[in-house]
Amino acid sequence: MVVYNLICKKKHQFEGWFPSFEDFQKQAEKKLISCPTCGSKRVEKMPHACAVHVKKEQSAPPKKTEQPAATPPTPAEFKEMLLQVHHYIKQNFEDVGSRFADEARQIHQGKTEERPIHGTATPKETAELAEEGVPFVTLPKPELDS
């Protein structure tokens, strides 16, 4: 049994229980999951967040030199980049799931081992982390809406 934090297109958050990830995927594909608040079938898993805690003495000062303006990536290139980032994170980051906000905060405060982590966070949690100055990034899902 797996539990996912889900969010509908109107940003209602709720928990979904599924026998397995595959069952979640199947139900999501067939639009069998609906929001208990508004009944929307446009439901996704919560956005993923990841954090790499960089020691202060290692962080390079921001460069002032002007870089030539890069051409923005095409949607296809952007999706490819995202897939690569997600793959890299899966390989190299510890999955802390819904404990992400707590773990990121403890790493930031030096209360637990410093390591790259990824997991899920609610918009409220990411707002709190940002307020506390905890470094993290949220990643858009590579599966773009079709």
> What does the binding site for Zn ion look like in residue numbers (CB under 5 A)?
8, 10, 12, 35, 37-38, 40
Of 34 and 98, CB closest to Zn ion: 34
Of 35 and 50, CB closest to Zn ion: 35
Least distance to Zn ion, CB of residue 4, Å: 15
Least distance to Zn ion, CB of residue 40, Å: 5
Least distance to Zn ion, CB of residue 56, Å: 42
Of 103 and 120, CB closest to Zn ion: 120
Token pair 């690569």 is found at 84
Q: Where are the alpha helices (DSSP H) in 62-119?
A: 75-92, 100-108
**How far is residue 7's CA from residue 10's CA, in Å, rounded to a whole number?**
8
Residue 22 tokens read as 């595959």
**How far is residue 145's CA from residue 47's CA, in Å, rounded to a whole number?**
14
Of 42 and 53, CB closest to Zn ion: 42
Least distance to Zn ion, CB of residue 9, Å: 7
Least distance to Zn ion, CB of residue 37, Å: 4
- How far separated are the first and last CA of the chain, in Å rounded? 29
* Complete edge-to-edge strand list for the sheet that includes strand 48-51: 94-97, 117-120, 48-51, 137-139
Of 38 and 81, CB closest to Zn ion: 38
From the list 140, 85, 130, the residue with the least C-alpha distance to 104 is 130
